[in-house]
Amino acid sequence: MRSARPVVGLTCYVEPVTRGPWQDQPSATVPHAYVEKLERAGALVLVVPPRPDADAALALEVLARLDALVIAGGADVDPAHYGQDPHPSVQDPRADRDAMELALAAASAETGTPLLGICRGMQVMAVAAGGLVEQHLPDRVGHDEHLPGDGVYGEHAVTTVAGTRLRRLLGEDTTVPCYHHQSVLTHPGFVASAWAADGTLEAMEDPGAAFRLAVQWHPEMGEDPRLFDALVSGARLHRTGQK
C-alpha cells in the first residue's frame, strides 16, 4: 500500500565523507535542511543520487516513482551544456549531477511532474530548456550581495511579477537567503516571476504547467515554508491525476 504522503525526490551530490574510521567514503549527500522543510510540508522524501550515464529513459523511470521533484542547489552547471567557454570563476564541473539533473528537468516537462528548482536547480532547468546562464554575476552588478563570502548566505529583497504563481504564493515582496554567483539569462518556455533590485532574475515559472517553478535563492535556509507547502500540494494533486 502506498504511503498517504506524496513522494518527493531530492537530487544530491556524491561526495567524499569522513565518518569515524571511514575516510573520504563516497556518499550520497545533500543538506538536511531540504529534507526538514519538505517533511514539514508533508512529503515523504527520497534522495535521488546522480548518475553520469543518465539519459531520458532513466529520468522517466525515476519520475515514474515520484509525485514531485526538487533539483537542489550546488555547483555551477558546466558551460559546455549551453555552448560557452567557462569564466575563470566557474567551479569544476560535476558531470554526474549535470547529466542526471538535466535529464530529469527535461523529462519532467514531458510527465508533468511538479518541479521546484533551487539555485543551481533554476539554472539546470533553464539550460535543459535551451537557455543561457550568466557565469559571474558580480561582473555585471558590481557587488557581492548575492554571495558575500565562502559559506556565508546573503539576504536581499525580491519583487515578484504581477499575475504569476509566485506572486500569489509570496505576495509582492519578500526577503530571501541567497548564495550564488551566477544567474539565468534566458529561459525558453518559462516566464520571469521575480527580480532583485539590481536586475538579477530571481525566479521563473512555466505558465502552462501545474507546478514548474524555480527560484535563485535558498528557501531551505529560511523560515518561510510556502514554496515547499505549494510543491507538496502540487505533488498530492499529481499523485491523484488532478491538475
DSSP state of 75: S
Any domain includes 89: yes
In a domain, 183, yes or no: yes
Q: Is the pLDDT of residue 3 over 80?
A: no
Q: How confident is the model over 106-112, as a mean pLDDT?
A: 97
Q: What is the pLDDT of residue 4?
A: 87
Whole-number Å distance between alpha carbons of 216 and 237: 25
Query: DSSP assignment of 219-239, as one string?
Result: GGGSS--HHHHHHHHHHHHHH
Confidence band of 37 (pLDDT split at 50, 70, 90):
very high
Active site residues: 119, 218, 220
Q: Is residue 1 part of a domain?
A: no
CATH code at position 172: 3.40.50.880
Enumerate the β-bridge partners of residue 26.
Answer: 16
CA contacts within 13 A on the Cβ side of 78: 13
How does 166-190 read in b/e, with b if 16+ C-beta sit within 10 Å?
Answer: bbebbeeebebbbbbbbbbeebebb
Residue 238 has pLDDT above 70, yes or no: yes
Q: Is residue 78 part of a domain?
A: yes
Residue 70, φ and ψ in degrees, nearest 5:
-115, 125
> How confident is the model over 50-65, as pLDDT tens digits?
999 999 999 999 999 9
The stretch 233-239 carries a mean pLDDT of: 96
- Given this model, what pLDDT does residue 72 score? 98
pLDDT tens, position by position, 127-148: 999 999 999 999 999 999 999 9
Mean pLDDT of the chain: 96
* Burial of residue 192 (number of CB atoms within 10 Å: 0-12, 13-18, 19+): middle
Confidence class of residue 241 from pLDDT cuts 50, 70 and 90?
A: confident
Categorize the per-residue pLDDT at 1 as very low, low, confident or very high, splitting at 50, 70 and 90: very low
Residue 101 lies in a domain: yes
Task: Give the mean model confidence (pLDDT) for residues 156-185.
Answer: 98
Q: What is the pLDDT of residue 2?
A: 54
Average pLDDT over residues 5-21: 96
How many residues in the chain? 243
Could you give the C-alpha distances from 69 to 79, 135, 181, in angstroms and in order?
Answer: 24, 25, 24
3-state SS assignment for residue 100: helix
In a domain, 144, yes or no: yes
The rounded distance, in Å, linking the Cα atoms of 38 and 44 is: 8
Domain membership of residue 192 (yes or no) is yes
pTM for this predicted structure = 0.96
pLDDT, one tens digit per residue, over 74-104 is: 999 999 999 999 999 999 999 999 999 999 9
Q: How many independent structural domains does the chain possess?
A: 1
Cβ atoms of 106 and 59 closer than 8 Å: yes
| Domain that residue 113 falls in | 7-239
